[in-house]
Structure 1
Amino acid sequence: MPEVREFTLPDLGEGLTEAEIVRWLVSVGDVVAVDQPVVEVETAKAMVEVPCPYGGVVTARFGDEGAEIPVGAPLITVAVGAPSEDGGGSRAESGAGAPAASRAESRAEGAAGAEPERSGNVLVGYGTGAPAARRRRVRPTAPTPSPAPVAAPAATPADTRPPAGPVAVISPLVRRLAREHGLDLRRITGTGPQGLILRADVERAVERAAETAAVRTAAPVDTAPVPAASAAALASGERVPLRGVRGAVAEKLATSRREIPDATCWVDADATELLAARRAMNAAGPKISLLALLARICTAALARFPELNATVDTAAREIVRLPDVHLGFAAQTERGLVVPVVRNAHERNATDLTEEIARLTEAARAGTLKPAELTGGTFTLNNYGVFGVDGSTPIINHPEAAMLGVGRITPKPWVHEGELAVRHVVQLSLTFDHRVCDGGTAGGFLRYVADCVEHPAVLLRTL
């Protein structure tokens, strides 16, 4: 009984995540040889013929010509073990059914006596505009048994993946993550469909490697003091484990930097009138915090520019615009930076926002915030002016799409009503995910926030 194997669109390199099927080179029922091209696809880089690492009979094809498919999606299924898969045919025979240029290329390689370079299932040498006859194909090793060359290293017992065929990786992001941490993808077992290696698989492998390194380098705990001679041998510097809140923040910031193409714009605004409005509010009733007023301005701006109250579903390649504003605000505590979330901030007035921000801030400093109060934010307000700095380019709180930064409010010379005067000026910055909007939308949002800061009466339109 022949075994049916599924061949998926391999990782074509160069950060490509999808390809368009241009032309099928085989039909259901055709007999294909190992390494025979089965489909021609077009990527953002070039036109490519994709060879199948299995030999046998084609039992199914997936996708019509003109369809766009992602890396890791099935292309064909092959019933292996057919008479054509003898494992001992020549390169010219393996190329049967391929275009004439490819067969001539194979014969030229055989005449030269050179073994084609092997690199999984990736095709190289496909520069744009290069003639087809001059393209060089990297052929994967056939999965059928064959004598290994003397110079080829033998597989180690630790290998859990077959030495041949494409590495089943769902996206170039996963491949890059593995490369950054020095991991061999062939030693990672994928948990996705058909054994695809997912990002979670690589992250678990990174954690295991980090734990192993920590065990090797960790100092003794709850033991007798280390002698001075032994202590001198330790590396200088204090080691602080990235655990708990600090570890979670570090992971989120690193993820944000890896995944989000962010950009920042900023503007100086005259906050004199906003401070005057706050003094008037406080004189007439319960005190209103400046952060609450800025939060109210944010919710009004998000109502006008909902593109920024969003997240990106990278797996589905979709922007998800969210109906409710759950506003996070950065709070510095003894345990590190945390971002409590004000639920349904768009439904709250300045008084309600003041009370909720105060409650969450107190809980953050006491370390009693619940997990639900630290997650689910859709937009973050970062008041780094409390540290005495004017400006910053903050990292977006993943998986949100934007963050508004507020610097310190300080007296500065300013042209007001045509005359030079001393005014209270603040720098506002907006860091945004460039996938969800362009600079026009981001600039419009920031300009509206600045207008509200300079002329608080603008907010009356939304009350």
Structure 2
Amino acid sequence: MEVKLHDIGEGMTEANISSFLVKPGDIVKADDPLIEIQTDKMTAEIPAPKNGIVKEFMVAQGQLVSVGTTLLLLEDVHSIEMNITQPPDSKKENFTVNSDKKKRIMASPYTRKIAREHNVQIKDIEGTGPAGRITDEDVYRYIQLSKKLVETVGQQKEEHKNDQIGEKIPFRGRRKQIAKRMTQSVYTIPHCTLFEEVDVTNLIQFRNELKTTNIHLSLTAFFIKAISLSLKDYKIFNAKLEEEQEFIHILNEHHIGIATDTPEGLIVPVIHHVEQKTITAIHEDLKELTHKAVENALSIKEITGGSFTISNVGPLGGSIGATPIIQHPEVGLMSFHKTKKMPVVVKDDQIAIRSIMNISMSFDHRVADGATAVAFTNRFAQFIKNPNLMLLEMI
């Protein structure tokens, strides 16, 4: 029986073979994990469709394969029943069939990734988690012990003594998929980017006041809600262009994607139905999705269906502007950059020190015009400058 790569998520066309979880000759049961794969959005395991024996792998580790590709051959377990049940003949050579299934190694995809990156065989690690599950700490502990052994015999110094050719980083997996998606977006969408300064002084003060009542909310949660409220007035930015059918699909629900930096590269988890949620609920969703993104534990639903995307690079420092690339087939993306205190002319030509944040807004110029984009960012800035106005809109 051929076990093929199937579509495990919305729009998936190919995946990278991360590792083999079994070996030829292993007896497996239905739903046992066979191969670990990496798409542009997540790591997943391909399970056995039925009981059987692993006969032969048809792909190699690190190979990029398309949906429909045969990954391995699975022999029907009934085909060896005769060998197992046949009485031994003293005049013939006895053959023993090992029916012990390979013990399943319990570890998360991210834990397996740590082991692979350090050239560690995860099967050699003893797990200390529940039911013997291998944790990240188990892998790092094993790595440290291995390093000490290498240092003792002087191997590490010898291995790196003549290394003058630099480092080669594999261009595959999520990194390659990100490149493919970004190239598609740039070549498909005529990007136009505008820049604006937003006064966040009152919002920061309001958030600090909430902290005194033991209410802790991130600024990003306020930004997301302000985006949603602005999309109510400027729906064209919460849309998708159906170019072949010649219409623009205006979406009623606000599914906001959050560009998130992870050890494996950029990923965009999605907070669904932001238009229905409070700022507190948005904050909790944001915290949970960010944690899952770093742990590579996001579900298909949590990374699909976005209608508008944000990118908060301000906390990283240094960035005062950018030309963000839109998540195809969305229409807009807003980035929040560095916030700094600066003198500003306020009421009656007075000078005051205010906290000013730079933003970048990229939009699809086929769908919207510059004047509409300016109006949209002005509406967003109005909510941020006057957070009470934002709360009033939610009543």
Tell whether the structures are fold-level matches, with TM greater than 0.5. Answer: yes
CA distance in 1, matches of 2:167, 2:331: 35
Measured after TM superposition, the shift of residue 392 of structure 1 is 1.3
The two structures, once aligned, show a CA RMSD in angstroms of: 2.6
What is the aligned partner in structure 2 of residue 392 from structure 1? 322
Aligned residue for 1:394, secondary structure, equals: coil
Question: Secondary structure of the residue that 1:257 maps to in structure 2?
Answer: helix
Deviation, structure 1 residue 280 = 2.0
* In structure 1, distance between residues paired with 2:214 and 2:277: 17
SS in 2 for 1:311: strand
For structure 2, the residue ranges without an aligned partner over 5 or more in a row are: 1-63, 67-118, 121-158
Equivalent residues in 2 for 1:302-451 (5 A)?
302-388=231-317, 389-417=319-347, 418-451=349-382
> 1:345 offset after TM fit, Å?
1.1
Match of 1:251 in 2: 180
Structure 1 Cα separation of the partners of residues 375 and 249 of structure 2: 20
Name the aligned partner's letter for residue 335 of structure 1: E
Q: TM-score if structure 2 supplies the norm length?
A: 0.57
How does 1:56-455 map onto structure 2 within 5 Å? 238-388=167-317, 389-417=319-347, 418-455=349-386
Deviations 1:255-280 (A, max 9, x none): 10010001011111211011011112
In structure 1, the residue matched to 2:390 is 459
Deviations 1:76-99 (A, max 9, x none): xxxxxxxxxxxxxxxxxxxxxxxx
CA distance in structure 2 between the partners assigned to 1:207 and 1:318 by the alignment: 34
Structure 2 counterpart SS, 1:300: helix
After TM superposition, where is structure 1 displaced by more than 6 Å over at least 4 residues in a row?
none
| Larger Rg computed on CA atoms | 1
User: 2 CA distance for matches of 1:275 and 1:239?
Assistant: 44
Letter of the 2:364 counterpart: D
Distance 2:367 2:209 in 1: 38
Query: Structure 1 stretch 282-291 or stretch 363-372: which is displaced more?
Result: 282-291
Note the alpha carbon deviations across 1:160-187, whole angstroms, 9 max, x for none: xxxxxxxxxxxxxxxxxxxxxxxxxxxx
Displacement of 1:329 in angstroms is 0.7
Give, as a single letter, the amino acid of the residue that structure 2 aligns with 1:305: Y
How much has 1:285 moved relative to structure 2? Answer: 4.3
Quote the Cα distance in structure 1 between the aligned partners of 2:190 and 2:212: 45
Please give the secondary structure, in 2, of the residue aligned with 1:409. strand
Q: Which amino acid aligns with 1:414?
A: V
Provide the rounded CA distance (Å) in 2 between the counterparts of 1:341 and 1:244: 21
Please, which runs of 5 or more residues in structure 1 have no aligned partner? Answer: 1-205, 209-220, 223-227
Higher relative contact order (CA 8 A, sep 6+): 2
Matches of 1:451 and 1:390, distance apart in 2: 20
Count of aligned positions: 239
C-alpha separation in 1, matches of 2:392 and 2:273: 20
Identity in percent? 31
- Tell me the secondary structure at the aligned position of residue 212 of structure 2: helix
Distance in 2 separating the partners of 1:449 and 1:277: 17
Partner residue in 1 for 2:134: none
Q: Distance in 1 between matches of 2:321 and 2:389?
A: 25
**TM-score, L = length of structure 1:** 0.48
